[in-house]
Amino acid sequence: MSRFIALLLLMLMIAAQSCEQVDNVEEHKVWQGTEESFETEFSYQADLVDDSVILTRNGSTESYSGFVEINQSGRITEQIYADGRLNGKSIKKSPDGSWVEANYVDGKLDGPMKLYDRFGELRSTLNYSEGKLLPGRTQ
């Protein structure tokens, strides 16, 4: 009997976790397309308060929050926006297999920017804080 109850509890936990993952996906918008379709569907608006730019969908005044993937002739850009600003990891991949990873906070580079070659070897690291390149050692 206790095996049955344990199995039932495990199934309920898995079901609850699955529902939670679906809810999380629904909470976040995902947009995928080409560079041309991105330019057709989105635009950047000036934020007069801090002289930055805000991503909005064309025809809307609301800032965009969500994941964006642009695929243009093998060049893939993956970015996360929060309230219209880049926020989180951004990855840009080249057709030759090389890529760059960077982190943004409130639209500004913040943390390491890592450049990888087509074999996945780290070639260089630049460090940023609040959009400014930090002096000192880079790889």
Average pLDDT over residues 35-52: 90
Q: Residue 138: pLDDT above 80?
A: no
Checking if the pLDDT of 24 tops 90, the result is no
Is residue 107 one of the residues assigned to a domain? yes
95 lies in some domain: yes
Split into its structural domains, the chain has a count of: 1
| pLDDT mean over 65-73 | 95
Q: Is residue 25 part of a domain?
A: no
Instruction: Give domain status of residue 3, yes or no.
Output: no
Left (φ > 0), alpha (ψ -120 to 50) or beta: where does 121 sit? beta
42, part of any domain: yes
pLDDT given for residue 25 in this prediction = 34
Question: Which percentage of the chain shows pLDDT scores above 70?
Answer: 78
- The string of pLDDT tens digits covering residues 78-123 is 999 999 999 999 999 999 999 999 999 999 999 999 999 999 999 9
Residue 68 in domain: yes
Domain that holds residue 55: 31-133
Q: Which of 3-17, 25-39, 89-103 comes out lowest in average pLDDT?
A: 3-17
Residue 5 maps to a domain: no
Distances in whole angstroms, Cα of residue 73 to Cα of each of 36, 65, 76, 98, 100: 12, 25, 8, 14, 17
